[in-house]
Amino acid sequence: MTQFISQEPALQPLDEYNQSLLSYVHPPDWMNPMPAAMYDLVVIGAGTAGLVVAAGAAGLGLGLKVALIERSLMGGDCLNVGCVPSKCIIRSSRAAADIRDAMSFGVHPPEQVEVDFAAVMRRMRKIRAGISHHDSADRFRKLGIDVFLGSAEFVNEGAIAVNGVQLRFKKAVIATGARAVRPKVPGLAEAGHLTNETVFSLTERPNRLAVIGGGPIGCELAQAFHRLGSQVTILHKNSHLLDREDADAAEIVQQQFLREKMQLILDCKLEQVEQTSAGKVIQYSQNGTVHKVVVDEILVGAGRAPNVEGLNLEAVGVKYDPRRGIQVNDYLQTTNPRIYAAGDICMDWKFTHAADAAARIVIKNTLFAPFGLGRGKLSSLVMPWVTYTDPEIAHVGLYEREAQAKGFDTNTLKIPFSSVDRALADGETDGFVKIMHKRGSDQILGATIVARHAGEMISEVTLAIATKQGLSALSGVIHPYPTQAEGIKKAADAYRRTLLTPRTQAFLKLLTKFS
């Protein structure tokens, strides 16, 4: 075995929970194994896509030789700086919001809701550490995978180097993910800023927080920090938050932010940032006028860039774009037929569940599609996604603009939660179920749900689309009463009522005479 010599990834604070996390996902005493003479599959990157590919291939019991390479933390963004930590603090922020809003339910909250920010972050670190064993280096070693900690680069058509040691492969998979993008704003780097990769290391709450970017990451964290007691200002270059989402859905979230007294600066251009004794001064222009806002911390949530650097992709003929990532076809095959890619490195869908689904396609296409027969396609996936604001926005399928571009004649059914009994009881009426179908058919083309737990509800519609079940089938599904998911059935019932034409009524009336 060879000793892995590298700078240990910095996790702050280095308390018992982060030390436990490191012991699983980047053991300081890890010994890289002696490489096999030849690997059936070498996977670069141990985020979601890489872990699923490696575990899926090794877990089939076929004796395949699989190697997995990770230069930083196993588990990737999702475990360490993404899904897991963000949802932990979002949950804490919702608890604080519920207490503040308790009066509307006849419950008298205290005059001042005290948030122990250090305890919120400690809880997050504890949960993250408790989950981390699932993605641990030792677990994957026990699955029969050779785990190498270190930086990888392609040497030639059939070899990858890790810390000077070469791994020969039959097929390779690139799953190196993406990272936060820093806007090119003069003074921002010098003043210092946070990203999703560093914000979860905070132990003290910033009193004044600027969030650059009004997309999903920016909005989720902005609302969470605001509810935890920070004075939050969102600066967004476009005229509306979440502008890639359904416009009606985005408007509900934006209005909720305004009700919570978050400061929204829209249609603005960042000019410069300066560190002063009063704080970090952000200078921006809006409608031709220059303004300033002073904050203690700046959180950048303005996009992602693929991790293509250092892989020496040119040596193996893998084409890539520094902004869009590695070029793949519908089978997730790169321009080198022996090398595949999956996850954020090559896909527009930058979600953990999308990386998981793509990894399963890669397993099939690299190992079980001789002569290209039976290959899976990325385009065959029905992909839902959720923005975890409060309320959440969940979507699956096409947006109306996309359906029209594809030539569909559409009709949209919209059920406001103000007409759903459980939403009324929950005091959560600011939302809706919107289902778009092909006009003259019950074929579901897309759906958007805005609700506090929209992410838990969207899977029913996802299943219907994936299995080619239409609105008629959803109408026939019995939903427990009272639940907010009844809004889906109401939408399906609304479609069924459109079938009740005068001719249909006449036929039904005739049936009653013989019944």
Annotation-wise, does 344 bind a ligand?
yes
Asked whether 383 and 212 are in contact (CB, 8 A), the reply is no
Examine the pLDDT at 1 and tell me if it is beyond 70: no
Tokens of 505: 């009524």
| Average pLDDT score over residue span 411-420 | 98
Worst-scoring range by mean pLDDT, 83-97, 142-156, 306-320, 490-504? 490-504
Annotation-wise, does 187 bind a ligand?
no
pLDDT score recorded for residue 495: 96
DSSP string, 248-286: HHHHHHHHHHHHTT-EEE-SEEEEEEEEETTEEEEEEEE
Instruction: List the beta bridge partners of residue 448.
Output: 395, 434
Annotation-wise, does 214 bind a ligand?
yes
Mean pLDDT, the chain, integer? 95
Annotation-wise, does 218 bind a ligand?
yes
Please report, in angstroms and rounded to a whole number, the separation of the first and last CA atoms in the chain. 82
* Residue reference for tokens 């890890």: 30
Q: Which CATH number is associated with domain 391-502?
A: 3.30.390.30
- Top pLDDT among 2 and 312 is at 312
Query: Are both 14-74+136-180+305-380 and 188-302 of the same fold?
Result: yes
Cα 239 to the center of its chain, rounded Å: 23
Annotation-wise, does 325 bind a ligand?
no
Pairing state between β 263-265 and 231-235: parallel
User: Rounded to the nearest 10 degrees, how much is the dihedral formed by the CA atoms of 246, 247, 253, 257?
Assistant: 150
Examine the pLDDT at 33 and tell me if it is beyond 90: yes
Domain boundaries, the chain: 14-74+136-180+305-380, 188-302, 391-502
Annotation-wise, does 28 bind a ligand?
no
pLDDT score recorded for residue 9: 62
| Torsion angles phi and psi, residue 170, rounded to 5 | -90, -45
Contacts of residue 231, defined as CB under 8 A and 6 or more positions apart, other chains included, come to 207, 208, 209, 263
Annotation-wise, does 158 bind a ligand?
no
pTM of the model: 0.95
Annotation-wise, does 220 bind a ligand?
yes
* Residue reference for tokens 């975890």: 388
Would you tell me which CATH number, out of the four given (3.30.1330.60, 3.30.300.20, 3.50.50.60, 3.30.390.30), belongs to the domain 14-74+136-180+305-380?
3.50.50.60
% pLDDT > 90, the chain? 93
Annotation-wise, does 449 bind a ligand?
no
Examine the pLDDT at 4 and tell me if it is beyond 60: no
Annotation-wise, does 177 bind a ligand?
no
Fold of 188-302: FAD/NAD(P)-binding domain (3.50.50)
Worst-scoring range by mean pLDDT, 45-54, 300-309, 451-460? 300-309
Residue 165 burial (C-beta neighbours within 10 Å; 0-12, 13-18, 19+): middle
- pLDDT tens, position by position, 302-348: 889 999 999 999 999 999 999 999 999 999 999 999 999 999 999 99
Annotation-wise, does 292 bind a ligand?
no
